[in-house]
Amino acid sequence: MTFKLKVPDIACQGCADTITESLLALEPSAKIQVDVPTKIVTVESTVSLENIKQAIINAGYQIE
Ligand SMILES: [Cu+2]
């Protein structure tokens, strides 16, 4: 499944890296794209949307 999530707190590449790492910890083979200007995280993963959201929240970010 491919999920698109808006994470308004993303401000820089450091935020993008933190979110990417937390999602890779969840599923190492996930494909993750973080677009800093639009603050959109695209995740291609077999993990449920709920778990993806939780990983982003645990990394310290809120999802819109
Ligand atoms: Cu940042």
The total number of residues written for the chain in this structure: 64
Over residues 35-45, the pLDDT tens digits come to 999 999 999 99
Q: Can you name the CATH fold of 2-58?
A: Alpha-Beta Plaits (3.30.70)
| Dihedral sign, Cα of residue 25, residue 27, residue 31, residue 36 | negative
CB 5, CB 54: distance < 8 Å: no
Ligand 1 centroid vs 4 CA: distance in angstroms?
19
Ligand 1 centroid vs 16 CA: distance in angstroms?
7
Ligand 1 centroid vs 48 CA: distance in angstroms?
25
Over residues 1-54, the pLDDT tens digits come to 999 999 999 999 999 999 999 999 999 999 999 999 999 999 999 999 999 999
Report how far residue 11's alpha carbon sits from residue 49's, in angstroms, rounded to the nearest whole number.
23
Report how far residue 20's alpha carbon sits from residue 55's, in angstroms, rounded to the nearest whole number.
10
pLDDT-derived band at 63 (thresholds 50, 70, 90) equals very high
- The pLDDT value given to residue 39: 98
Domain coordinates in residue numbering, the chain: 2-58
Mean pLDDT of the chain: 97
